[in-house]
């Protein structure tokens, strides 16, 4: 602390303080899966010590229905966001098929703007896109301010948590489904929408939700360019310690994201207090997704069965994370038992809904 301000200071890392390996007797564990869930839930009951680098690794040497053992990495959000932490994790892994190569993740294809902007038609398209961007920005900003000023709030439902909620311990459950099924549904849904073949009457008859319901999700998106897996692997291989931090600072200086976040945090806290600053809690749930490796990977020679990122401390009763891995997609629920007492049932409902959608698409 310096004048009431928190500062980063150089320190030495003692791995014994960060890597925890509890002594477990398999004979004393009736249900390994439940034991792992309870162990992770217990971690959400206490905060990471601020007297040392804010991360710890818990190695649970217990065989579950999915893996031979489980590694739980707990990291404070100040050390990185979901994308940077996933990139750092994957930079420490290697392909199972080729232990010398880092994994590959799906890349967004860039559109060749030079060809599309040629001629009068190209200029008209660019003008229309610019106007569309301006309109969307105006609408989003107005909706954002309306939510921040509490002019728009979600209705009270069994999934809605009280305002300012977020200090209770969490329960974490996950379920893996076929990534091919997700792609099938996505492609088919797009085709149905474009061909306008949706049976509106049928969909309305099967909808049991109130017509005037307001139920929204806060969807997190990464707006900052980050180094790829290969770049991170090269930095670590060369033993450089400052290049990644230097590149991140350069990107921060060339972006208005930090100024925008600082402005909101400063003035919402100053004029509205914590109640206004916690405007994301006015939505019903939070949703976040991140792309994982396209092939099976290993961590220090150990094959990785699944990847299940999540978080706790957020001011809502339900958060859904989604991550892809090889031919699977895993959705992870972070819930509070007071809001959702049976998180496994919610997992079952999500999987049943997915199967029903898939059946409808096929038929």
**Distance from C-alpha of 48 to C-alpha of 30, rounded to nearest angstrom:** 29
Helix, strand, or coil (residue 199): coil
Task: For residue 62, give the nearest of 16, 30, 17 by alpha carbon.
Answer: 30
- Rg from Cα positions in the chain: 23
DSSP string, 36-96: HHHHHHHHTTSPPPTTS-SEEEEEE----SS-SSEEEEEE-GGG--HHHHHHHHHHTEEES
Active site members: 77
> Could you tell me the two tokens for 53?
């680098």
Please measure the distance between the N-terminal and C-terminal CA atoms of the chain and give it in whole angstroms. 63
Helix, strand, or coil (residue 324): strand
Alpha helix ranges (H) inside the chain: 32-43, 82-91, 113-116, 119-148, 179-195, 200-205, 229-238, 243-253, 257-267, 273-277, 343-362
- Tokens 């969807």 identify what position? 219
**Distance from C-alpha of 351 to C-alpha of 340, rounded to nearest angstrom:** 17
Contact 121, 127 (CB under 8 A): no
CA 115 to chain centre: 35
| Inter-CA distances, 320 with 26, 51, 129, 225, Å | 31, 31, 32, 23
Evaluated on CA atoms 199, 205, 208, 214, the torsion sign reads positive
Q: How many CA atoms lie within 13 A of 348 on its CB side?
A: 4
**Distance from C-alpha of 144 to C-alpha of 213, rounded to nearest angstrom:** 19
């Amino acid at each position: 602390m310096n004048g009431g301000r928190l500062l980063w200071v150089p320190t030495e890392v003692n791995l014994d303080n960060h890597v925890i390996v509890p002594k477990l007797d398999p004979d004393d564990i009736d249900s390994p899966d439940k034991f792992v869930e309870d162990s992770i839930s217990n971690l959400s009951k206490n905060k990471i010590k601020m007297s040392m680098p804010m991360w710890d690794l818990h190695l649970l040497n217990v065989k579950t229905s999915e893996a031979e053992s489980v590694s739980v990495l707990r990291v404070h959000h100040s050390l990185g966001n979901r994308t940077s932490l996933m990139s750092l994790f994957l930079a420490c892994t290697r392909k199972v098929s080729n232990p010398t190569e880092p994994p590959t993740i799906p890349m967004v294809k860039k559109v060749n703007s030079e060809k599309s902007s040629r001629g009068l038609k190209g200029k008209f398209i660019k003008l229309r896109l610019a106007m569309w961007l301006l309109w969307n920005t105006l609408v989003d900003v107005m909706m954002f301010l309306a939510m921040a000023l509490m002019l728009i709030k979600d209705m009270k439902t069994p999934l809605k948590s009280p305002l300012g909620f977020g200090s209770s311990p969490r329960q974490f459950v996950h379920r893996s489904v076929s990534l091919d099924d997700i792609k099938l549904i996505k492609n088919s849904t797009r085709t149905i929408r474009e061909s306008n073949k949706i049976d509106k009457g049928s969909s309305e008859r099967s909808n049991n939700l109130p017509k005037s319901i307001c139920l929204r999700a806060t969807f997190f998106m990464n707006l900052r360019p980050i180094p790829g897996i290969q770049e991170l692997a090269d930095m670590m291989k060369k033993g450089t310690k400052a290049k990644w931090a230097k590149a991140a600072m350069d990107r921060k200086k060339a972006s208005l994201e930090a100024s925008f976040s600082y402005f909101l945090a400063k003035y919402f806290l100053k004029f509205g207090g914590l109640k206004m600053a916690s405007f994301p809690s006015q939505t019903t749930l939070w949703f976040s997704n991140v792309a994982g490796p396209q092939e099976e990977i290993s961590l220090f020679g150990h094959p990785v069965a699944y990847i299940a990122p999540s978080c706790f401390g957020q001011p809502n009763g339900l958060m859904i994370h989604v991550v892809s891995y090889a031919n699977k997609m895993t959705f992870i629920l972070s819930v509070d038992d007071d809001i959702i007492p049976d998180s496994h049932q919610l997992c079952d409902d999500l999987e049943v809904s997915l199967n029903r959608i898939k059946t409808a698409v096929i038929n």
